[in-house]
Amino acid sequence: MVIYNYMDIGRDEWMSIGYTYVSEEECPICCYSMPVTKLRSRMIKIKQDSDFCAYYKDFNPYYYTIWICPHCGYASDTNHFKDIKEREKDRVAEFLMARQIRIPHTEFRTREQAITAFKLAIYIADLAKAPASRMAGLYLKLAWLYREAEDKENENQLLELALKAYDRALITERFPIGSLTDNAVIYLIGDLHRRLGEIEKATQYLSRIIGDKTARSEYKIYKLARDVWQDMRDEKG
């Protein structure tokens, strides 16, 4: 049994106790058997923002979205950690070898450590030519960390990058991708435009959902679009 001393760890780490555990995965770049922090399923969701940022009681799971190999420095989100194509591995390995990135594994992360992890994962994903939808998801989640920190400038910069990447994804990729449908992407683009103060563009995208009868089959997305549309009307007065 592990006993944690509150005086030896920070608040972020303390709040993570009971929600995480350490396991091992093989790094797809250097084949090192590396420790990773995984999440237990006992989290209690308390609310969600219109761009799908979820909030949980006493814990932020987005701190642990990125795994980093402590041996070579490779970083990726947990869902795509091993999805790097063979032809891209050499480019990533060469970059990591030249930089000598060494970030030791810690079971518990601070927000600052999580932000650093996302920045590294975004750089590597871009280097590995990850699809636009994956880049968009990374940008969006990093924006949520800045939102938690009440850093509006950096949040908006990341929201804009996410918006542009989702726009590219609509053109270049075939949906659904996992649970992400084309209607969900159209809605997200509309909501991100709204968050950035671009109301006319937000209206154009949201109206594509509200005015499409077939979109009503995705009732959750349809209702979100309708609610955001109404919020914009109320704000306009």
User: Which pLDDT tens digit goes with each residue over 64-116?
Assistant: 999 999 999 999 999 999 999 999 999 999 999 999 999 999 989 999 999 99
Sign of CA dihedral 164, 119, 228, 153: negative
* 146 domain-assigned: no
| Coil vs helix vs strand at 78 | helix
* 72 domain-assigned: yes
Q: Between 15 and 25, whose confidence is greater?
A: 25
Mean per-residue pLDDT, 115-123: 98
Reading the block at residue 193, the tokens are 């435009």
Please give the span between the terminal C-alpha atoms of the chain, in angstroms, as a whole number.
58
Domain end, chosen from 67, 100, 132, is at: 132
Q: 126 and 198 share a domain?
A: no
Q: Identify the pLDDT of residue 69.
A: 97
* 154 domain-assigned: no
Please, are residues 105 and 33 in contact by the beta-carbon 8 Å criterion? no
pLDDT at residue 3 greater than cutoff 50: no
The residue segments making up the domain with residue 230 are 174-237
Mean per-residue pLDDT, 43-71: 95
Q: How many independent structural domains does the chain possess?
A: 2
* 151 domain-assigned: no
Query: How high does pLDDT run on average in the chain?
Result: 91
Looking at the DSSP bridge assignments, the partners of residue 170 are none
Q: 195 and 126 share a domain?
A: no
* 37 domain-assigned: yes
Please, are residues 180 and 158 in contact by the beta-carbon 8 Å criterion? no
Q: 126 and 180 share a domain?
A: no
Q: Identify the pLDDT of residue 16.
A: 58
* 223 domain-assigned: yes
